[in-house]
Structure 1
Amino acid sequence: MTGSIEAGESLDLLLARQPVFNKSQDVVAYLLLYRNDDVQAPKTINDHLATSSVILNTYASICEEGEVRSLPCYIKLTDQTLMADNFPDLPKESFILEILGHSKITPEFVERVKMLNQQGYRIALSDYRPHPKYEPLLNLIHILKLDIQKTGIDQLPQVVKDLRPYHLELLADKVETQNEFRKCHELGFALFQGYFLSKPEPVKGKKLGSSKVLLLQMMVELQSPQATAQSVEQLVINDPLLTYRILRVVNSAAFSLQREIESLSHAISLLGFEQIRKWVSLFLVTDTQEKPEELTRSMLVRGRMCELLAEMLGRDQPINNFITGLFSKLDVLLDMEMPELLEQVPLQAEVKAALLTNEGQLGQILDQVCHYERGDFEDLDLLLDQHFYEAAYRHSLSWSQQVMQSLSDK
């Protein structure tokens, strides 16, 4: 569950990833986001692409149902990068080249796209809008990204109809709600990108299930000054499955313990309340089968990155930053409005304030992490040097994968 990161492990650019989903809301690829407002950015990303294994080992790696595999990455290419003489020889199964819609489509540009197509690269065109200038590219690309907010839901049926002769894979971009996802699904889009997994679809009058109530009771007990390993154990002892899951996880390689754990109270004594509190939080957010795994994965990444930044800044009780980040999407996971949900969740007042209004030091770090995840790098306050942000994010990706494996039934 823990691990330190060294500044020397960082890349020299800010890099984040955003998922690309299929119709089943499974992640089939990631879009790589990098800071592109620097005049040196095209050269910087080009240099990193030349050693793409550094990126792929973390940013393309995913754990699904306990199995680790690599997914392809979309990489946005400026005209300068695409036309560069030293364009790197990228692994074609690992990268999808994304042309920008505002590119200057010259005969030379079209010829370069044609050459990359013939070399076997998959090519996507983003920010498309109906215009004759794109005609030379439509027979050369494989994936067409439509910004549904700019295009408008009402205009999409005609645009999709006009594109059918090209037999392109259509990607709905900027999908913000589950309702928009469903509409695009019905129109025949195969791929989806956006923040539709970041907003709940509230179920009126919904109450937490008994297993989640038990986990929340454990969290309350773990925060009590009078709590003991035995008092926590007594809460769980009548739930054999939860007891088994906790013992199984703490016996895993994640803790590198030298001795077998024989009981829950023994595990709590060895690991301490902070670690057990963290795992109780993890069980709470990973025990919702009907939601896509990517939601759980993103919650883990956010929680861990909040915790790491707090540790780097020397803040008190970084565990509270972890819980703040982890629970910041609990409303989506449980399909409840956050204020109503927090009435049923016994969290500390400062955690609740951060979740509701981004207040305090907890809210400050949560806000920073949310900007980083979205690739809004220009909105970062940079409480630390930027390479610490990238190192924390990359470590959090790896950590979330380790946790997903530990919590898997496989």
Structure 2
Amino acid sequence: MFAFIARQPILDRKRDVFAYELLFRDGKNNCFPDATRDERTEKLIAKHYLTLGLDDISCNKKSFINFQKETLVNGLPAVLDPSNVVVELSDTVLPHDALLDVCRQVKNTGFTIALDDHNLDPKWDDFLPYVDIVKVNIMQSDYDGIAKSMPRLLDSNVKLVAEQIDTQQDFEIYRDMGFDYFQGYFFAKPEAIKQQNLPTSKLTLVELMGVSSSETFDIERVNSVIEHDVGLSYMLLRFVNNPMVNKRYKITSLRHAITYMGEVELKKFVALLALANLNDDKPIELLHLSLVRAKFCDLVAREAKKGDNPPVGFLVGLFSLLDAILDQHMDTLLNQLPIDDDVKFALSGGQNDLSIYLVLAKAFESANWLKVIRIAGLLKIDQKRLHSMFNQAIIWGNGLRQSVSPHFPESKV
């Protein structure tokens, strides 16, 4: 059940992840798959929940989930934890009065409730005593209308989510208006395009990224850079001793790491370590998204038997948000970054195998299932296999982001 799933982050005012909205391909309109009340289906859900749980997908954050009307009327699955799941309700599911009855029932079972796609119509005032969160789609309501409704919403003692926040400017506008949370990919866009040269400290990291994209590997150069930076040295040891990477041996140095990991895996690490340090003043979700894309593109490249030295699939995913991390045009950055030509071509908007892997990753992120199906056919890779790869990438990213980020926030907010 849970194998066909996508997630979209919901960030707080500090741009840390508060929760993820989960979108299910198996259900209608990306809803949680409907389960009748028979024992066989309950066991099936429990089996999938335990093998790929919502906590794995949502990185131990809260999960916002839409449910089909049958599930809402019959009762939510017992396998779901009310402390971690936010039930999203909208008037597209049930008529007003029936939905209000469901709202009361769900509230009595201990779940947090979010009113989805709130259009500011006064008819929704009946729901405000029962809901905890109101989601407002800024693309469906004008600014003046939202501003006019803010006092009434704030007086209702609910938390507010602004949806479709796709620019830094929108984030700042609605944060200043009083919204608590923000859904959209504004964090993955450059804050302001800056044309000045990168500072020396960041140029060193960019050089390390270039090393990871070369067929040869200058171990002496990399070792020298890392040895002279306490932060890099610390993150190196924390990363290579992470159970997701190494479950058997304690690694004590870069030279030890290359002996244990091998050149290709170490190239991935060097690129990842450099990117994490470039990301030090950005939202952690930006790095996390880069990690998931890197692992997914790497898995797809391996499945397609694309060359792995340098690890081009991994690198194209990892570097795909470099413009947002450094607030510069991607083409400007690529001129300064000595990376593999195929990777550079894909990142600059060219069409090749690597760009297809990146488009596929973005299709999963946005739950564009039709595009996933189309690209699966193009690559001749089974859809279930691709979903499994994306799930693996999410879990890998969840496990690694704490190791490569100096400012990893607490889970379970």
Partners of 1:16 and 1:372 within 8 A in 2: yes
Partner AA of 2:56 in structure 1 = T
Work out the CA distance in 2 between the residues paired with 1:312 and 1:140. Answer: 49
Does the 8 A contact of 1:202 with 1:337 survive in 2?
no
TM-superposed CA distance for 1:38, in Å, is 5.2
Q: Give matches, 1:276-295, under 5 Å.
A: 276-287=266-277, 288-295=279-286
Choose the corresponding residue for 1:406, options 398, 403, 406: 403
CA deviations 1:224-257 (Å, max 9, x no partner) are 5565544554565554654554355335545438
Q: Determine the structure 2 residue equivalent to 1:321.
A: 313
The 8 Å contact of residues 242 and 400 in structure 2, kept in 1 or not, is answered as no
Equivalent AA in structure 1 for residue 173 of structure 2: K
- Alignment check: 8 A CA contact 1:358 1:364 kept: no
C-alpha distance in structure 2 between counterparts of 1:216 and 1:343, whole Å: 11
1:346 matches 2:338: yes
Matching of residue 359 in structure 1 with residue 314 in structure 2:
no
Q: Matched residues in 2 for 1:40 and 1:290: separation?
A: 34
CA separation of 1:224 and 1:103: change in aligned 2, threshold 3 A? closer
Report the equivalent of 2:57: 59
Q: How many Å separate the matches in 2 of 1:133 and 1:245?
A: 53
Judged with a 3 Å threshold, the aligned counterparts in structure 2 of structure 1 residues 144 and 227 are, in CA distance, closer, same or farther, namely closer
Deviation at 1:109, TM superposition (A): 2.9
Equivalent position to 2:108, from 118, 124, 139: 118
Helix, strand or coil at the partner of 1:317: coil
Deviations 1:290-309 (A, max 9, x none): 11111111110111111112
2:131 maps to 141
**C-alpha separation in 1, matches of 2:79 and 2:246:** 40
| Amino acid paired to 2:90 | L
User: For the residues of structure 2 that align with 1:93 and 1:275, how far apart are their CA atoms?
Assistant: 38
Aligned pair 1:153/2:151, yes or no? no
What letter is aligned with 1:286?
Answer: A
1:124·1:142 contact (CA, 8 Å) conserved in 2?
A: yes
Q: Which runs of 5+ in 2 are unaligned?
A: 409-413
User: 1:87 and 1:224 mapped to 2: Cα distance?
Assistant: 51
- Which one has more relative contact order, counting CA pairs under 8 Å at least 6 apart? 1
Deviation at 1:258, TM superposition (A): 6.1
User: Is 1:127 aligned with 2:117?
Assistant: yes
Partner of residue 411, structure 2: none
Q: Are 2:15 and 1:25 aligned?
A: yes
Partners of 2:6 and 2:365 within 8 A in 1: yes
Query: What's the counterpart of residue 84 of structure 1?
Result: 74
Deviations 1:270-315 (A, max 9, x none): 4333122111111122113211111111110111111112222322
Shift of 1:144: 0.9
- TM-superposed deviation, 1:328: 0.6
TM-score (norm 1): 0.85
Report the Cα offset of residue 128 of structure 1: 1.4
Secondary structure in structure 2 of the residue aligned to 1:32: strand
**Conserved in 2, the CA contact under 8 Å of 1:83 and 1:109?**
no
The SS at the match of 1:139 is coil
| Letter paired with 2:291 | L
Asked if structure 2 preserves the Cα contact closer than 8 Å seen for 1:358 and 1:366, the reply is: no
Q: Secondary structure at the match of 2:390?
A: helix
Q: 1:368: which partner in 2?
A: 360
Quote the offset at 1:259 in angstroms: 6.0
CA distance 1:94–1:247, shift in 2 (3 Å) = closer
Choose the corresponding residue for 2:157, options 157, 167, 176. Answer: 167
The separation in 2 between residues aligned to 1:395 and 1:134, in whole angstroms, is 40
Q: Could you tell me how far 1:332 is from its partner in structure 2?
A: 0.7
CA distance in 1, matches of 2:219, 2:396: 26
Instruction: Compare 304-313 and 79-88 and name the one that shifted more.
Output: 79-88
Aligned position for 2:394: 397
Q: What's the counterpart of residue 306 of structure 1?
A: 297
Q: Which amino acid aligns with 1:131?
A: D
Give 3-state SS (helix, strand or coil) of 1:357's partner: coil
CA contact (8 A) 2:167 2:185 kept: yes
Residues 190 and 103 of structure 1, relative CA distance in 2, 3 Å threshold: same
* Change in 2 beyond 3 A, CA 1:36/1:125: farther
Q: CA deviation at 1:385?
A: 2.2
Q: How does 1:188-267 map to 2 (within 5 A)?
A: 188-221=178-211, 223-224=213-214, 227=217, 229-230=219-220, 232-234=222-224, 236=226, 238-239=228-229, 241-243=231-233, 245-247=235-237, 249-256=239-246, 263-267=253-257
The separation in 2 between residues aligned to 1:145 and 1:225, in whole angstroms, is: 49
Question: Residues of 2 paired with 1:240 and 1:41: CA distance?
Answer: 47
d(CA) in 2 for partners of 1:41 and 1:261?
44
Measure the CA separation in 2 of the matches of 1:135 and 1:282.
48
Q: Residue deviations 1:64-83, cap 9 Å, x none? A: xxxxxx22111012323212
Q: Structure 1 residues 280, 81: CA separation in 2 closer, same or farther (over 3 Å shift)?
A: same
Instruction: For residue 365 of structure 1, report the CA deviation from its aligned partner.
Output: 0.7
**Alpha-carbon distance between aligned partners in 2 of 1:386 and 1:357, rounded to the nearest angstrom:** 25
Distance 1:265 1:89 in 2: 47
Say which SS state the counterpart of residue 126 (structure 1) adopts. Answer: strand
Aligned residues of 1:251 and 1:260 also touching (Cα < 8 A): yes
Q: How many pairs does the alignment contain?
A: 392
- Percent identical among aligned pairs is 28
Separation (CA, whole Å) in 1 of partners of 2:233 and 2:154: 54
Deviation at 1:152, TM superposition (A): 2.5
Is the alpha carbon distance of 1:103 and 1:257 closer, same or farther for their aligned partners in structure 2, counting shifts above 3 Å?
closer
